[in-house]
């Protein structure tokens, strides 16, 4: 089976999974394609993809058409599509003090207005460090969220008050701005405690997406590990149990890959079921070889195998690498 993440900037998880499936057919194997995500960018695509759009206020106040999904009572919202750093052209063009999560809140409000019984909010790729205040203020009747299943997918455990120090510099904040944002988060936490009776400073993951996770937690959301949520939604556990070999992968394999990311999560499941793991990665960072060997993963780097072609012809390189790995596995 192919349980893979996207290769950011070069191939979607669906494209990578399809390339591996093509290699499986070439080498005489059947393949279950299971594009994966860790709860951040790309999660909407693997959970069925968008089936509607809504004009919302972008992170710096401009209008954006945000794609999202509502199907059979379940809404899937990817905050990056409403409040993401890519919407402002990256950190160099961001205003980290002004950036707001209003748009993400508008999507949640729309889901409630359309009768959603279950709301999944996927975090990651945000332009914001507003503690989720913009989103909270954009939800017209927050009490309605108490009547639905409200899940927030996080891939980090950063605390609310640490969000500025950990993430704001990546969003273009100077040292002075980071210090201001940290102070503002403390004030926002006090506001949530006084308004909702919830202390957002202690919950693991509350600092995700610049504190948006904490703001939604104040409204009753359950913060859950993003990979686990996606795995449950897609039936990954059963798929792994019923396959012979697992092929996973991502754009860059490094130490963080084994802390809530796709490759680490898939490998852990495969080891539970005593299945061999093959990993195809765009690049492999130094220092992870020992971890890879200890877990029994057979991993290859497309950059090492194909050089610059790995970026220009990613899906072709994935297919060829998968053919080689599967042929070696079959003959072992």
Q: Which two tokens stand for residue 72?
A: 């059979």
pLDDT at 171 over 90: yes
Strand order in the sheet with 246-253: 246-253, 277-284, 297-301
Q: Please state the φ and ψ torsions of residue 93, each to the nearest 5 degrees.
A: -105, 5
| Residue 180 within a domain | yes
CATH number at residue 296: 3.40.50.10350
For residue 214, give the nearest of 247, 231, 248, 190 by alpha carbon.
190
Sign of CA dihedral 37, 39, 43, 48: positive
In terms of domains, do 58 and 112 share one? yes
Q: Which two tokens stand for residue 78?
A: 């990817």
pLDDT tens digit sequence for 133-150 = 999 999 999 999 999 999
For residue 221, give the nearest of 176, 317, 154 by alpha carbon.
154
In terms of domains, do 153 and 283 share one? no
| Average pLDDT over every residue of 245-251 | 96
| Average pLDDT over every residue of 31-59 | 95
In terms of domains, do 67 and 162 share one? yes
Q: How many domains does the chain have?
A: 2
Q: How confident is the model at residue 232 (pLDDT cuts 50, 70, 90)?
A: very high
Asked if 2 and 32 count as a contact pair (C-beta separation under 8 A), the reply is: yes
CATH number at residue 81: 3.90.1510.10
Domain edge (last residue) among 195, 227, 259: 227
38 burial via Cβ count (<10 Å: 0-12, 13-18, 19+) = buried
In terms of domains, do 91 and 159 share one? yes
Domain edge (last residue) among 227, 261, 296: 227
Q: What angle do CA 146, 151, 155 make, to 5 degrees?
A: 150
**Domain that includes residue 290, residue range:** 13-32+243-331
Domain edge (last residue) among 182, 201, 227: 227
pLDDT tens digit sequence for 276-311 = 999 999 999 988 888 999 999 999 999 999 998 989
Those residues whose C-beta lies under 8 Å from the C-beta of residue 76, and which sit 6 or more positions away, are 43, 44, 47, 48, 68, 69, 70, 120, 122
pLDDT tens digit sequence for 53-110 = 999 999 999 999 999 999 999 999 999 999 999 999 999 999 999 999 999 999 999 9
Specify the pLDDT at position 332: 75
In terms of domains, do 164 and 253 share one? no
Specify the pLDDT at position 259: 86
| Residue 162 within a domain | yes
Specify the pLDDT at position 287: 86
In terms of domains, do 190 and 272 share one? no
In terms of domains, do 183 and 327 share one? no
Do strands 63-71 and 74-78 pair parallel, antiparallel, or not at all (unpaired)?
antiparallel
In terms of domains, do 171 and 270 share one? no
CA distance 246 to 275: 7
| Residue 158 within a domain | yes
| Residue 94 within a domain | yes
For residue 130, give the nearest of 92, 160, 93 by alpha carbon.
160
In terms of domains, do 272 and 207 share one? no
User: What is the widest separation between alpha-carbon atoms in the chain?
Assistant: 64
| Residue 37 within a domain | no
Specify the pLDDT at position 278: 96
Q: Which two tokens stand for residue 21?
A: 């499936």
| Average pLDDT over every residue of 1-20 | 95
| Residue 38 within a domain | no
Q: How confident is the model at residue 9 (pLDDT cuts 50, 70, 90)?
A: confident
| Residue 234 within a domain | no
Those residues whose C-beta lies under 8 Å from the C-beta of residue 308, and which sit 6 or more positions away, are none
pTM: 0.93
Asked if 317 and 305 count as a contact pair (C-beta separation under 8 A), the reply is: yes
Asked if 229 and 260 count as a contact pair (C-beta separation under 8 A), the reply is: no
CA distance 84 to 100: 10
Q: How confident is the model at residue 6 (pLDDT cuts 50, 70, 90)?
A: very high
Specify the pLDDT at position 178: 98
Distance of CA 276 to the CA centre of its chain: 25
In terms of domains, do 214 and 276 share one? no
In terms of domains, do 98 and 205 share one? yes
For residue 209, give the nearest of 197, 191, 234, 226 by alpha carbon.
226
């Amino acid at each position: 089976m192919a349980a893979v993440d996207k290769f950011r900037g070069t191939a979607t998880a669906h494209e990578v999974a399809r390339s591996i499936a093509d290699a499986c057919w070439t080498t005489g194997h059947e393949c279950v394609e299971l594009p994966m995500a860790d709860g951040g960018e790309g999660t909407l695509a693997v959970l069925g993809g968008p089936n509607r759009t809504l004009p919302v206020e972008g992170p710096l106040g401009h209008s954006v058409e945000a794609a999202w999904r509502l199907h059979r009572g379940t809404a899937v919202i990817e905050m990056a599509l409403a409040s993401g750093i890519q919407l402002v052209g990256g950190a160099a063009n961001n205003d980290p003090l002004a950036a707001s999560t209003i748009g993400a809140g508008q999507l949640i409000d729309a889901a409630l207005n359309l009768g959603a019984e279950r709301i999944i909010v996927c975090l990651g790729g945000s332009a914001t460090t507003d503690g989720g205040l913009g989103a909270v203020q954009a939800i017209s009747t927050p009490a309605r969220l108490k009547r639905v299943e409200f899940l927030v997918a996080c891939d980090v455990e950063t605390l609310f008050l640490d969000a500025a120090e950990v993430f704001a510099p990546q969003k273009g904040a100077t040292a002075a701005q980071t210090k201001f944002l940290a102070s503002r988060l403390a004030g926002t936490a006090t506001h949530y405690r006084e308004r909702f009776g919830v202390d957002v400073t202690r919950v693991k993951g509350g600092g995700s997406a610049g504190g948006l996770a904490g703001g939604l937690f104040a409204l009753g959301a359950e913060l859950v590990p993003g990979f686990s949520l996606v795995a449950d939604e897609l039936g990954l556990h059963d798929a792994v149990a019923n396959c012979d070999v697992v092929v996973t992968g991502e754009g860059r394999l490094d130490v963080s890959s084994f802390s809530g990311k796709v490759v680490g999560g898939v490998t852990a499941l495969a080891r539970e079921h005593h299945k061999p793991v093959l990993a195809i990665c765009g690049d492999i960072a130094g220092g992870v070889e020992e971890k890879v060997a200890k877990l029994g993963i057979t991993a290859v780097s497309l950059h090492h195998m194909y050089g610059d072609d790995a970026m220009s012809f990613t899906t072709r390189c994935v297919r060829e690498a998968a053919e080689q790995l599967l042929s070696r596995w079959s003959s072992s």
